[in-house]
Chain A
Amino acid sequence: SQQGEEDPQALSIQEGENATMNCSYKTSINNLQWYRQNSGRGLVHLILIRSNEREKHSGRLRVTLDTSKKSSSLLITASRAADTASYFCATDVRGGADGLTFGKGTHLIIQP
């Protein structure tokens, strides 16, 4: 079964606006990661946040983690057309088998 669930499934915004995507998960985790997938390509790692961290920044990316609610959010500020992609959260489940568990993704479209 899926560990992570992204919300919304799809998001369309104007270039320059901020985009926010959410991820909920079910069990305790060691860390949570966000990946981007451009159409027809493999996934690319964006950012990792550990279970003892609440917020992390990387360039135009801001990730938050609320372990009490088992949720995370990814904020992309000042969006660009090149940010059009699908975004996935992935969790490293505490006590689980090796390997990351991915959500179903949010498809983000940036309108020029």
Chain B
Amino acid sequence: NAGVTQTPKFQVLKTGQSMTLQCAQDMNHEYMSWYRQDPGMGLRLIHYSVGAGITDQGEVPNGYNVSRSTTEDFPLRLLSAAPSQTSVYFCASGNNEKLFFGSGTQLSVL
């Protein structure tokens, strides 16, 4: 099993550009989530989904959109990138007793 796969691993954007971070899992987990990790801030929850067609906001949702059309995929969209969105993004799947994380996407917004 591949587990949780994130693409791309690295991305540089200009302010105002949009992009989609991809996340796929092959463990048939209903729950998927996106976190961002900033130095000294730990991980903060952006959006999560408890199943196909169901999404909800986490702690820091502004500037991000998500959708969940299938159990496997949970893409994160940056609508108009800002320097404040420079961060490392992690996708995770599982449940409230154990999360499996992808290897992360390092995003820089110039």
Interface size class of B (residues with CB under 8 A): 20 to 34
In the complex, whether B74 has a CB less than 8 A from a CB of chain A is no
Name the distance in Å between B80's Cβ and chain A's nearest Cβ: 25
Contact between chains at B56 and A97 (CB < 8 Å): yes
Contact between chains at B48 and A99 (CB < 8 Å): yes
Contact between chains at B42 and A100 (CB < 8 Å): no
Q: How far is the CA of A106 from the CA of B4 in the complex (A)?
A: 25
Contact between chains at A98 and B104 (CB < 8 Å): no
In the complex, whether B99 has a CB less than 8 A from a CB of chain A is yes
| With contact pairs A42-B103, A101-B45 given, residues A31 and B90 touching in the complex (Cβ less than 8 Å) | no
List residues of chain B with CB within 8 A of the CB of A98: 31, 48, 50, 56, 96
Q: How far is the CA of A93 from the CA of B104 in the complex (A)?
A: 25
Q: How far is the CA of A99 from the CA of B43 in the complex (A)?
A: 12
Report A78-112 residues with CB < 8 Å from chain B CB.
88, 90, 92, 97-105
Q: Mark A27-43, 1 if CB is under 8 A from B, else 0.
A: 00011010100001111
Size of chain A's interface in residues, with CB distance under 8 A? 25
List residues of chain B with CB within 8 A of the CB of A104: 40-42
Q: How far is the CA of A8 from the CA of B70 in the complex (A)?
A: 41
Which residues on B are within 8 Å of A, measured CB to CB? 4, 31, 33, 35, 40-45, 48, 50, 56, 58-59, 90, 92, 96-104
In the A-B complex, the 7 residue pairs with the closest CB atoms: A42-B101, A104-B42, A102-B43, A92-B96, A43-B101, A102-B42, A99-B48
